[in-house]
Structure 1
Amino acid sequence: MEDVKPSSYCTVLDGRSQSKYLCYTHRRNALFYICLTDAADVWSTEYTEDTLKEFRQKFALKSTEDYILKLRSACVTGDVSVVVHDTRAELQVSSGSTDLSVSLSRLQGPQATEELKELLFRMADSLTQLDSKEFEPRQQQNCGPSVTVKRRAPGASLINPGTKKKMQATGVAFDEADDD
């Protein structure tokens, strides 16, 4: 199966009601999902590898990643819209000469709740991974600038670091040689 990022997220606007929706993709159990939610209801469609291949051929897409990139860029430029009905939603992606249309079915009760729960934790996991990749641990705000402490060389003066400390006199050693 083709390697695709675990999840992709973008916001979509319903042209009629001006309501915002979260459109996201993910893989689970060898299936590729395209989903839509307003945080209360969830609409979803799933693709097996075969149906995904048909979808890519129908819309002349090179890969699933290509579709995700088209969806993301369409979200940024405002070329994606959704029309929500009672039991289904139509996701329309306009990109150049082709219009990609995906029909999503509304999930019921516990299935929708489980999907929202999984979405929440996937998003939290992706934020955690992003934080660990891009941000270094922060220093405490109240501390002054950190100063690196240089190690003192043996024999260096503690008070005046540029000079060697004077060694204490040990006395004079006389040779007890014969004076003959």
Structure 2
Amino acid sequence: MAKSILITGGARSGKSSLAERMTLGLHPTATYIATAQAFDAEMAERIAHHQARRGPEWTTHAEPRDLVGALEATDGTRPRLVDCLTVWLSNLLLAGEDWQGAAERLVAALPRQAAPVVLVTNEVGAGIVPENRLAREFRDAAGFLNQAVAGVSDEVWLCVSGCPVRLKPPQGEGPTP
């Protein structure tokens, strides 16, 4: 079983940069599994910004919905970075797919990976209750997904204002002081 690390936090908290550093700390080259889709110019700009930040040590594997398939296709010796679970969840919800079944398959697949996986997700439940049904469904689904993935991850980190805090240390280690 390979190591799995979940990194959560709010928007622009520094979680993607932290995930990139942690992933390359495991091996000098890595695979970036990107879940975002450029449906508009603003999202295309965000994707371009993420790509520009990465150097030649990264190979990108774009997969908006079949995350387990992407993990299986890229499993080997290099670590993988999945960025991000909440965008993946949005893609599933908007496509009308069974997000619960997909989440269960992901949770089952993570412990079977031969190479390490670092996953980025957004912490979305700390704000106000959304006013529309889809937003509430997304918030609730993200909470359930994050809990399930955290449960099978070897480490869980929270990033706030660029400052990482380890929430779940690897077995055998004590909590972060």
- Range into which the TM-score falls when normalised by the shorter chain: under 0.3
Q: Which of the pair has more CA radius of gyration?
A: 1
What TM-score, normalized by structure 2, do the two folds share? 0.24
Query: TM-score normalized by structure 1?
Result: 0.23
Structure with greater strand share of residues: 1
More helix by share: 2
With CA pairs under 8 Å and 6+ residues apart, which has the higher RCO, 1 or 2?
A: 2
